Amino acid sequence: MDTGSLFEHLRRFDTPTIANALEIARGQRIITGFTRQTLIAALPQLPPVVGFARTVTIRSATPYDPAVRRKNQLAYYEYLAQPQQPTIAVVQDIDSQPGIGKLCISPACATEAIRVEGKTARTPCSRPT
């Protein structure tokens, strides 16, 4: 089955249904580190989204060199832009208390970050909150 046909078939189901079915079939939790609860569709009125998962782990509680951070962010944006599309960003916060940091994954941020590589620039995601 080609990818397009497979994606069309998978669009008949929401993500929680697929994830919960995989856990039942495997007999164990497979989403450890992403959630502690059974998945539910937050907005069931919206159609399912199917794409290629592009995973990343983030940690924000421990400071590190801004140049290294920038290099890592640009590498992830390039990973998101790989030819197999559509892309779904999957971000796992590995801090002991998740939720401290953020990673901008919107197309506008990624495009702006890549466009100004090597220069200091304010992207939509670097605005103070």
pTM exceeding 0.85: no
First vs last C-alpha separation in the chain: 46
pLDDT tens per residue, range 26-59: 887 665 555 566 667 778 888 888 888 888 888 8
- Residue 124 — very low, low, confident or very high, per pLDDT cuts 50/70/90? very low
Which H or E run includes 56? strand 52-58
pLDDT tens per residue, range 56-75: 888 888 888 989 988 988 88
Please check whether residue 16 is in contact with residue 40, taking contact to mean a CB–CB distance below 8 angstroms.
yes
* Averaged pLDDT, 72-90: 85
Q: What residue type is assigned to position 37 of the chain?
A: Q
> According to the model, what pLDDT value does residue 38 have?
65
